[in-house]
Amino acid sequence: MSQELLSYVGNSEAAFSPLQYWFSLLFVTLCIAGMAVFLEGGELTHGMPFEQLLSHKLISYANLLLVGSGVLYLAHLWFTANAVGKWATGLAAAGAIGVSAALLVRWFETYHVLLEGHVPISNLYEVTALFSAITVVIYLAMESVYRTRSAGAFVMPIVLGAVLFEIWLAANGQADPSNLIPALKSYWMHAHVLADFIGYGAFAVAAGAGIMYLLRARAERRGHPDAFALRVLPGLQQIDDLIFKSIAVGFPVFTLATILGAAWAYNAWGGYWSWDPKETWSLIVWLTYATYFHLRYVKGWEEARMAWWAILGFGVTLFCFLGVNLFLSGLHS
């Protein structure tokens, strides 16, 4: 009886540990943000330069952790040492916490350095930081479910690209918090952007797994049992499941984001849809991933084609996220 009780307790702890883990991350994030707000509260002044804001320093330090994590995930492919993998995961979690805490601090700072404060999701610098944090969180959730760190070597380079883009934006004076135009002063926008970037983050994880699938499939076709990809990467079925689960998480949330965006458009401009470039490309993204499910279940496409589709889909997503803002003009740019 005692052995059964111990077994039940052990299984219960295993079942609840992921939930406890994510609540712990949230708690640590709020503690860091609260401490930063307490330390900085008396020093903020209207018009304070961006470089002097504590949130800028926090994001910079957090980005260093993400860079270190990316390097360790790549190293883990070669060395496969458990300690290297644990450090990679730990730095990724710490980086995501740091970026999230920095965005919360920046939210507080806007109330002191601008005419009126706002949630820090109003310019490319802020949403790129949000994208990196959400992508890491979704990846870590998938890592805990599938118990493999190999995908980190393919997902984290996407995060590193976001970090480099943030640095470029800061160097070109596009990272400073600014006052909002009237159209952005809406709670619909907050919900829309958050849902949007949960979708983007999930699609990024799927694309990284898609690249991993193609490398593993190529190694299997060549028939070398000692090939590097066969030794370090999970089986094709597991990778395909990771791709599918990531898109299955991202697609409904992105669908919700599109609906919320239409509600925001009506609230801001009096119409649900105006075929603005951002709206058009959001629809293209939605159709791309809707087609993924159609091709998978109706047409019966093989897993390799689905991996290519996941990569293509993220390319379309990336243009919707960045290309529209950088190269096309519209209400959202």
% of the chain exceeding 90 in pLDDT: 52
Q: Is residue 332 part of a domain?
A: no
Residues 98, 59 contacting (CB under 8 angstroms): yes
Output the CA–CA distances (angstroms, integers) from residue 41 to 33, 49, 105, 111, 113, in the order listed: 12, 15, 10, 11, 11
Determine the 3-state secondary structure of 148 from DSSP: coil
Residues 165, 115 contacting (CB under 8 angstroms): no
Res. 190: pLDDT tops 70: yes
Going 282 to 288 to 292 to 293, the CA torsion angle's sign is positive
Residues 93, 131 contacting (CB under 8 angstroms): no
Token pair of 54, please? 């504590």
Tokens 């730990």 locate to 90
Token pair of 118, please? 């706002």
Res. 228: pLDDT tops 90: no
Maximum Cα–Cα distance for the chain, whole Å?
Answer: 70
Q: Is residue 103 part of a domain?
A: yes
Token pair of 79, please? 């060395």
Report how far residue 66's alpha carbon sits from residue 28's, in angstroms, rounded to the nearest whole number. 17
Report how far residue 326's alpha carbon sits from residue 278's, in angstroms, rounded to the nearest whole number. 11
Report how far residue 126's alpha carbon sits from residue 59's, in angstroms, rounded to the nearest whole number. 10
Q: Is residue 307 part of a domain?
A: yes
Residues 183, 266 contacting (CB under 8 angstroms): no
Predicted confidence band at 9 (pLDDT cuts at 50, 70, 90)? very low
Report how far residue 121's alpha carbon sits from residue 192's, in angstroms, rounded to the nearest whole number. 11
Output the CA–CA distances (angstroms, integers) from residue 305 to 49, 153, 317, in the order listed: 49, 22, 18
Q: Is residue 67 part of a domain?
A: yes
pLDDT for 41 equals 77
pLDDT for 8 equals 35
Q: Is residue 333 part of a domain?
A: no
pLDDT for 115 equals 78
Predicted confidence band at 332 (pLDDT cuts at 50, 70, 90)? low
pLDDT for 2 equals 39
Q: Where in the sequence is the domain holding 97, given as residue range(s)?
A: 2-327
Nearest to 88 by CA among 98, 102, 74, 99: 74
Nearest to 121 by CA among 37, 194, 63, 199: 194
Report how far residue 33's alpha carbon sits from residue 107's, in angstroms, rounded to the nearest whole number. 10
Cα angle, residue 332 at apex, residues 326 and 333 outer, rounded to 5°: 25
pLDDT for 39 equals 82
Q: Is residue 56 part of a domain?
A: yes
- Give the number of domains in the chain: 1
Distance separating the N- and C-terminal Cα atoms of the chain: 65
- pLDDT mean over 149-176: 93
Q: Is residue 284 part of a domain?
A: yes
Q: Is residue 106 part of a domain?
A: yes
Report how far residue 130's alpha carbon sits from residue 271's, in angstroms, rounded to the nearest whole number. 28
